[in-house]
Each structure stands twice: as C-alpha cells, then as structure tokens.
Chains A and B, each alone.
Chain A
C-alpha cells in the first residue's frame, strides 16, 4: 500500500480531461491534441503506478478504500492484481494509439462533433480503468454499466450508415445482461455479511452460499459476462456493432471492453461462486469450444472485413473462456495472456483494415486485390498482424494459445483437441483474406491516387508490432505478472492442477 492514490489518479485524469473538453468553447481546434496529451499523461501515470506494483504477489495491490454509500454497503474500493494491471496497461496503451488512428476520422474543423468524439474516448478510458480496478462489486457494476454510455455514443454518433441500429442493439444486449447482474448483485449483498462494506469483494469471497442460491447468483453474473465477452450464443450484437463502429472505436470495444467479460468471469464468477463455477463448467466448456469453431467458420465466410475481424474475436474469446474454465494454472495463465495478446492483435487488424477502408472506401473484401503492389507497407503489416492472429510461433498469440490448449488438455483432452482445430481454421480465414487483398493484378485506377502508410499511421502500427514481437519472444515478464493472480484465483475455487497424465495413469492403474 502506498500513500499515493494511484488508481484514483489514473481514473480521474482521463475523466477530468473529458470534462474539460466538454466545457471548452465550441471552436476549440486543438481537441485532438489535448485528448492525446491527456491519454499520454495517463499512460505515463499508469507506467509509474505499475512500477509500484510488486510482481510475484497474488494479492491485491495499490489498494484504496473510501466510504461511498454506506447505506447500501458500498465502498469506493480499488485495487489491482496482475490480471487487472495488465488489462489497465492494455487500455492505456491502446487509447492513445486509437486517438492517433482516428485523427482524420472526424472532420478537423474544430466542431463540437470532434470534441465530442475525443471526449467520449477519454471518458471511456476512465471507465475502463475503473472497471478493472474496482474491488467492490457494486462499484464494479457501476463502471460496468456506465461504460455503456460512451460506447453507445461512439458507435451511434460516429459510426457507419447503420450505426443507430447497431448502437441500440449493443446497448440493449449489454443493458439486459447488466440488469440481470444487478439482481445478482443485490442478492449477493443479502447472502453476504452485509453492513456498511458488504459489497467489498474480499468480504464476499469464500462465503458458504451453496445450493440453488449460489447457482442463481452465478448465472446472474455469468450471463452478463458471456454477453459482454461475447460468447456463443449471445454474441450476435458484436459483428453488427464492430462493423458500424469506427475502427478506433471497434478496437476499444473488442480489444478492451469485451475483456471485461472474461475478466469478470475470473474475478467474480470463479472467486465468489466456486461451487457453482465447477457445476457450470461442462456447459461452459461446450459453449467455449462451440464459440471457437463457430466464430472461425463464420469468419471464413465473411465478405466484410470488419465483420470478419469481429468473428475471429468470437473464436478467440472462445479460447479465453475455455482456458479460464479448464481451471488449470497453465490454461488460465494462457487465457489471461491471451487477453493481453488479443487486445494488441485485434487492434492492429481493425486499424489496418480501417486504413484500407479509408483508401478504398469499401469494407467489402472483394473490392480489393493486388494491393500488395499499391500499398506494400499496409499490406505487409496486415500480414504480420494476421500471422499474429493465427498464432504463428514467434508472435504473441502463439504462446497464449499454446498454453490454453496444453492446460486444457490436462483436464479435458477432448475439448483441447476440438478447440485446436480452431487454430487451423484461423489460418484459413486470415490467409484467404490476405490473399484476396494483397495478390492479383495491380489495380491501376486506384494505384495512382493511393498512397502508402503515412507517418501518422506508422505511429499507430509500430507500437503494436513491437508488442507482437516482444510478447512473442519474451512473454516471461507478463506471465510472471499474471501467474500469481491466477494461482490465487484457483485457490479460491479450490481446484488443484491435475497431475501429469502419465503419472496419473500409473498411480490410478
């Protein structure tokens, strides 16, 4: 515990930045620069905060607690473990990248529209930090729901032609899930110790609830997280939302926000309802494997590249959930690492797709062809990002996918084997997509007017590719960060790792 309230500061800086943008006069032309500055300050602060974090401890760190609504038992309680820290770092890294990527997305005429766009982005950043740092269930719920508002406006006001419907669909799905969780949140308070800090996660962990109540409470939380994650069969809002959103919005939506779902499963479902989690495991495993295969198959069939990326994410989230519910140290470490990797990979895919769309004016893959020779840099980085998405060894996603499959195999060999076919399907959807875009004759009429990656765009992709390589070759620091938290979670569930298959046969035989 430190004297400096790092997490509150991290939360407050982007929130105040957003407020300042709203209050500034209409003609404020430097809104983008201001927002980028705020997000960079947040990034620096997050790094400084991360340096206070001692790697290797599974307990919550940088803890803060202030009384908020004692009548409801609510505390403004923040604290992070390795998983939360990695998610917060992911958010604060991606937000400035997205702001740079979206530089020309909205008319740069200093209108309120531009100010609104960057203000919502900053507010969203604040909410994301809050949702990952909250250690009070009520506070978590507040961030979980309040987060919908900026995303709703980011999609609905600044998205594609069908944006209003997509935004509403997104909102209704999420709100319904959230409200179901609300009943569970209230129910949790009544079964918990109650009192003025009855919502503190630490007070609600290790309760002996048992029976139908625990299962119902678990379901209340799980349904909300499954919608958010998004998991088959409640994923249908995602392709629509991601397609209509601006690429930068889609990055934050799929790359970070959806992680709240899997993060919530780890932090809330597993930790507070261990028995119910084990009870639900078979069904969840089946759904996760279904997500992997289903998302991948649909990705292969897509003609719209934003939809394609959305479906790949459904497949990847299947892996993450599979690893979480296989409940081995290896699989969960893989899942949490996957959460980080997927954030970077999807960000790169969406942003590069956005660059292509900005040049060609179309999301349809069939409208491209031969772009390898028109924009070699863009297409090249697309290939690297694609290879990362299909988990090529040496790039980031490989490590995490490998860990998930190996860990799952220890307990559920069949699920691991079926899930592994998702890797093969990934090669199909990525390489087919790349092939349709990159190869073929050079499109003369477009080539003359199209320029390759601009300096600004290089700033967008460079950090992402650096992250691919770093996490691909040297994931150890991140794994060291995640593993203790995973171990703690598994202790809460009360599951131990299965013994290696060979010796298990020997001892049982």
Chain B
C-alpha cells in the first residue's frame, strides 16, 4: 500500500519559495499588461530570492536532516551551496534586468518565439511586445539548482538536473542581437545537454542495477559488499561523472562552453557560468563524498586526470582567444579544473575549499559578464578585445573594476581568486596530489598572460574606435559593486567565509 512520505517542509522551505515564485511568475506573464510586466516580474523575482535566502538562514538551518523518503538531504553543504546560489542569482538577476533606455530588458529579445529576421519579430519590436519569460525561467532554473546538491537520490538528482537545464537552454536563445548565433547556442546546448543527461540517467540505472536502489546511502552501503552485479559499479560511476562533468564544463566535456557562453545573452552567461557551476559541483560533492566515497580508489585518479586536463586545455586555449566572452568561457574551463583539484582531495578540507572556490568564482564571474554587457559598439555588444582598446582612459571605473576582476581570475594575492586557489591547492598537496597543484600553478601562469593582455589593451592601447560605454542603471551597478567588494573581501579577510565553509563541510549520510 502506498504510504505518503514524511516531508519536513520547513527544511525545504527555500525550495518551495523559489518554485512557488517561479510558478506565480508564469501565471503573471499571462495576466499582466505589457507595461507592468518588467517591473512586476523583476520585483517578484528579487523578492522571491531574498525571501528564500531569509528562509534558508532563519528556518532551514535549524531543520537540517534527511527528508522526503530519504531523497532530499538538507545538511551543511546543501545549505552553503543553496545560499550561494541564491546570493549569486540575486545579483545575476539584477544584471539581467539592465535596461539601456528601452522598455525591455535590453539583453533579451522582444519575442523569443519568432524566427530571427521574420515579420513577426519586426512586428513585436514595433509594438513593443515585451515578453518577460526570463524571470520565471530564471527562478525555475534556480529552483533546480538548489535541488541538485540536495538530492540524496539519483533519480531526484536527474530531475533536478533537468529542471535546472531546460530553462537555461531557453534562456541561451533569447539574445536580442545576433539572434542566429544565440539560437544556435541554445540548440547546441540543448542537444549536448540532452546527451549528457542521457549519460547521467544511464549511469543512474547501472548503479540501480548494482545496488538495488538509487539512494546514495544504499549505494554507499553496497560498495564493498558482494552484490553479484559488481561489474556495473565502475561504468555506472563514470557515466554519472560524465553527466556532471558536462555541466561544469570540464575537459573532455567542455566543447559546448565557448559557443554557448558567446551566443547566450551576456547576463545569462554570467548567471549560467556562476550558478550552474556552483550547483553542479554541489551535486558532485554529494555524489562522490556521500555515495561513492568507498569506491574512491576507482574515481579519484579519473577525476584527477580530468582536473589536470581541464586546467591545461582551458589555460592553453584561453590564450588564443580574441573575444572576451570566449576568454571567460575557456577560463571557466580552467577554473573547473581548479575546483576539481579541491574536490579530488576528498577530505573535509576538500569540500570546504571547493565551496570557498565556488563562492569566489561566482562573485567574480557575474560582475565580469555584467560589465561586458555595458561596452557597446554600434548598438550591439563589443566583445572583441580590440574594441576595448584604450577604455581605461574613457571609462576609468569600468576598466578598473574589470581589471580587478581579471586580477582575481589570475589569482593575484589580496583577491578572492588567490585565496580560493590557495585553498584548493593546499587541499591537494595535503592529500598527496602535489602534482595536480603543480599543474594548476603552471596553468595559472599561462592564463595570467591573457588576463594581463586584456588589461594591457584597456590601459595601454590606443583609443581610436567607436566603442562606447553605456552608463549602467542602479541594478547593474549594485551587482558589480557587490561582486567586486566580495572579491576584495574574500581576498583580504577570508577567515569568516573559510570558517563558514569549514563548518558547513559535514555531509549527512
């Protein structure tokens, strides 16, 4: 007989708030008048995220435990990752709402459904037929991201993966300008994402065959005992890892990253780069630290090689890029390698350093993309390096902020990037992966070349081009200032956040 599972609603209150907000957003989209849409949706979304964050800190933190028939775990790492996703998506959402003089969020098309260059599109632009589907889509994606690291069951993890991915596929295709590139990015992301989901599902099925359950604790118990299906464990693990490594953009599953990052609307790229990475690494931490910890000898070397390959490939390919969004895309591949270096360490310090790095990376990535969206040439975004030449003199604050973020990407001391790198490398060295740290260090030196080349272009290049910097609204300014301050703060006084990460690194099993 079916028995309803006990659900600790207080523990999952943040999730409920976010999903509820997303659904209300969908409803409002049908009822609101055009001119009300943007502001209503914006404030609804921000309010939802803030409310969820408040609920997380005030309610969920006191209700940790495994709930919903063992499929959801709310523990330290979950809350840390969820809190991070919420904070990052607040500033991500603010950056998305930048309106540059129009009635529409500027980065997004008026009519996502129309064919680029078609009559419908022109008509939508003429009528100002603003649709604001980005807000509910973002909220639903955030909900999926929050569920992802909380999932204690492979099937739920798969569902969370899909919930977070599908809105992102759509969001990638909504760029206002260069519509074809954007739609191509969307399609590419969708197709490859569907592949990787299939791999993930296949892996989940194999582990089900191996352990007789999809729950991580059951799988963990099964490892080391004879189940009669022992041959399924390793292929199952590797296929699961494939699905997750795809989401974080690690080599060799990184090929979608540059094209999608370039094609997607710039603020979406920032949101996607930061939050997806946080969520997927959160899920990876749970999968490997809780479910597959006992089989570490089988997966640790594989992940170490993936980490090394990501750092090397990401770093080397970064230096040949000439488009800023692609530079950041390839650098995100290298960063995925750095984060994996922390994850491979497989200790409490591994989990805490990974989470710290995710915080550092997220808070530098969103403002970086938000700033890219402000630099324009002939109405569209100017993302080629040469178009940024000499901006240091014309837009000193933008150049200073972006340069500072680049210093953080490069891992120069007194920025969060350095603290994060130090944390993951220290974790790796302490756990006999010193060679990974060495590769990481060399990769850092390689990527530093391109970051400083960009800074050179800002400050030392000539100024003869038609690039203009638009004045951002308070929304983007807030997002950028927050990101820069966090980047600086985590570089100079990282102790409180390190403490938080360390205290939150205890998984419930």
Residues of A within 8 A of B453 (CB): 168
Pick the contact of A175: B422, B429, B445, B498 (CB < 8 A).
B445
Pick the contact of B407: A149, A176, A187 (CB < 8 A).
A149
B441 on the A face (CB < 8 A): yes
Residues of A within 8 A of B459 (CB): 153, 156-157
With A68-B495, A182-B425, A186-B422 as given contacts, are A164 and B412 in contact (CB-CB < 8 Å)? no
CA of A171 to CA of B413, assembled, Å: 14
A28 on the B face (CB < 8 A): no
A72 on the B face (CB < 8 A): yes
B35 on the A face (CB < 8 A): no
Are A163 and B448 within 8 A (Cβ)? no
Are B414 and A182 within 8 A (Cβ)? no
> Nearest Cβ in chain B — how far from A476, in angstroms?
39
CA of A112 to CA of B396, assembled, Å: 9
CA of A164 to CA of B499, assembled, Å: 41
> Nearest Cβ in chain B — how far from A179, in angstroms?
4
> Nearest Cβ in chain B — how far from A160, in angstroms?
12
Pick the contact of B498: A69, A142, A156, A157 (CB < 8 A).
A69
**CB-CB nearest in chain B for A148:** B412
B431-457 to A contact mask, C-beta < 8 Å, 1/0: 000100110011011001100110010
**CB-CB nearest in chain B for A69:** B495
Are A172 and B445 within 8 A (Cβ)? yes
Are B413 and A71 within 8 A (Cβ)? no
Pick the contact of B438: A71, A145, A167, A183 (CB < 8 A).
A183
Are A157 and B413 within 8 A (Cβ)? no
With A156-B459, A156-B460, A164-B460 as given contacts, are A146 and B452 in contact (CB-CB < 8 Å)? no
B502 on the A face (CB < 8 A): yes
A52 on the B face (CB < 8 A): no
CA of A157 to CA of B396, assembled, Å: 13
A152 on the B face (CB < 8 A): yes
Q: How large is the interface on B (under 10, 10 to 19, 20 to 34, 35 or more residues)?
A: 20 to 34
B426 on the A face (CB < 8 A): yes
Are B494 and A69 within 8 A (Cβ)? yes
With A146-B414, A164-B456, A171-B448 as given contacts, are A183 and B429 in contact (CB-CB < 8 Å)? yes
A282 on the B face (CB < 8 A): no
Q: How large is the interface on A (under 10, 10 to 19, 20 to 34, 35 or more residues)?
A: 20 to 34
B352-390 to A contact mask, C-beta < 8 Å, 1/0: 000000000000000000000000000000000000000
Are A172 and B449 within 8 A (Cβ)? yes
B479 on the A face (CB < 8 A): no
> Nearest Cβ in chain B — how far from A245, in angstroms?
13
**CB-CB nearest in chain B for A165:** B456
With A69-B494, A168-B449, A180-B441 as given contacts, are A156 and B456 in contact (CB-CB < 8 Å)? yes
Residues of A within 8 A of B164 (CB): none
CA of A146 to CA of B407, assembled, Å: 10
CA of A114 to CA of B498, assembled, Å: 39
Residues of B within 8 A of A180 (CB): 441
Residues of B within 8 A of A157 (CB): 459-460
CA of A168 to CA of B418, assembled, Å: 20
Are A182 and B460 within 8 A (Cβ)? no
Give the contacts of A406-428 with B (CB-CB under 8 A): none
With A145-B412, A168-B456 as given contacts, are A71 and B430 in contact (CB-CB < 8 Å)? no
Pick the contact of A186: B426, B452, B502 (CB < 8 A).
B426
B403-416 to A contact mask, C-beta < 8 Å, 1/0: 00001001011100
With A145-B413, A156-B456, A164-B460 as given contacts, are A189 and B441 in contact (CB-CB < 8 Å)? no
**CB-CB nearest in chain A for B497:** A71
Residues of B within 8 A of A70 (CB): 495
Are B414 and A171 within 8 A (Cβ)? no
**CB-CB nearest in chain B for A139:** B413
> Nearest Cβ in chain A — how far from B496, in angstroms?
10
> Nearest Cβ in chain A — how far from B410, in angstroms?
8
> Nearest Cβ in chain B — how far from A222, in angstroms?
16
A141 on the B face (CB < 8 A): yes
**CB-CB nearest in chain B for A177:** B445
B264 on the A face (CB < 8 A): no
A94-122 to B contact mask, C-beta < 8 Å, 1/0: 00000000000000000010000000000
A56-80 to B contact mask, C-beta < 8 Å, 1/0: 0000000000001111100000000
Residues of A within 8 A of B426 (CB): 72, 186, 189
B17 on the A face (CB < 8 A): no
CA of A142 to CA of B437, assembled, Å: 18
CA of A180 to CA of B419, assembled, Å: 16
Residues of A within 8 A of B445 (CB): 172, 175-176, 179
CA of A192 to CA of B425, assembled, Å: 17
> Nearest Cβ in chain A — how far from B456, in angstroms?
5
Are B499 and A186 within 8 A (Cβ)? no
Are B412 and A149 within 8 A (Cβ)? yes
Residues of B within 8 A of A439 (CB): none
With A183-B425, A187-B434 as given contacts, are A146 and B502 in contact (CB-CB < 8 Å)? no
Are A146 and B413 within 8 A (Cβ)? yes
> Nearest Cβ in chain B — how far from A234, in angstroms?
14
Give the contacts of B450-481 with A (CB-CB under 8 A): 452-453, 456, 459-460
Residues of B within 8 A of A143 (CB): 413
Are B444 and A179 within 8 A (Cβ)? yes
CA of A156 to CA of B499, assembled, Å: 39
B206 on the A face (CB < 8 A): no
Pick the contact of B413: A68, A142, A167 (CB < 8 A).
A142
B423 on the A face (CB < 8 A): yes
CA of A180 to CA of B502, assembled, Å: 27
Are A72 and B422 within 8 A (Cβ)? yes
Give the contacts of A180-232 with B (CB-CB under 8 A): 180, 182-183, 186-187, 189-190
Residues of A within 8 A of B419 (CB): 69
CA of A167 to CA of B452, assembled, Å: 9
**CB-CB nearest in chain A for B425:** A186
Are A187 and B429 within 8 A (Cβ)? yes
Pick the contact of A182: B407, B410, B441, B452 (CB < 8 A).
B441
**CB-CB nearest in chain A for B422:** A72
Interface centre among B413, B438, B456 (most CB of A within 10 A): B413
With A72-B426, A182-B422, A186-B422 as given contacts, are A152 and B495 in contact (CB-CB < 8 Å)? no
> Nearest Cβ in chain A — how far from B173, in angstroms?
38
With A71-B502, A149-B412, A186-B422 as given contacts, are A175 and B448 in contact (CB-CB < 8 Å)? yes
B46-70 to A contact mask, C-beta < 8 Å, 1/0: 0000000000000000000000000
> Nearest Cβ in chain B — how far from A98, in angstroms?
21
**CB-CB nearest in chain B for A70:** B495
Are A146 and B412 within 8 A (Cβ)? yes
Residues of B within 8 A of A146 (CB): 412-414
Residues of B within 8 A of A149 (CB): 407, 412
Residues of B within 8 A of A141 (CB): 413
Pick the contact of B448: A69, A142, A153, A172 (CB < 8 A).
A172
CA of A175 to CA of B429, assembled, Å: 20
Are A186 and B429 within 8 A (Cβ)? yes
Interface centre among B418, B434, B460 (most CB of A within 10 A): B460
Interface centre among B430, B442, B448 (most CB of A within 10 A): B448
CA of A171 to CA of B447, assembled, Å: 12
**CB-CB nearest in chain B for A187:** B429
Residues of B within 8 A of A172 (CB): 445, 448-449, 452
Residues of A within 8 A of B418 (CB): 142, 145
Residues of A within 8 A of B423 (CB): 72
Pick the contact of B441: A71, A164, A168, A179 (CB < 8 A).
A179
Pick the contact of B452: A69, A145, A168, A189 (CB < 8 A).
A168
> Nearest Cβ in chain B — how far from A177, in angstroms?
9
> Nearest Cβ in chain B — how far from A184, in angstroms?
10
For the complex with contacts A167-B460, A182-B422, 9 further pairs of A-B residues with Cβ separation under 8 Å are A70-B495, A71-B498, A157-B460, A164-B460, A168-B453, A182-B441, A186-B429, A186-B437, A187-B429
6 A-B pairs with the lowest CB-CB distances in the bound complex, closest first: A142-B413, A71-B498, A179-B441, A164-B460, A176-B445, A145-B413
**Would you list 11 pairs from A and B whose C-beta atoms are within 8 A, ordered by A residue?**
A72-B423, A72-B498, A146-B412, A156-B456, A167-B460, A176-B445, A182-B425, A183-B425, A183-B429, A186-B422, A190-B429
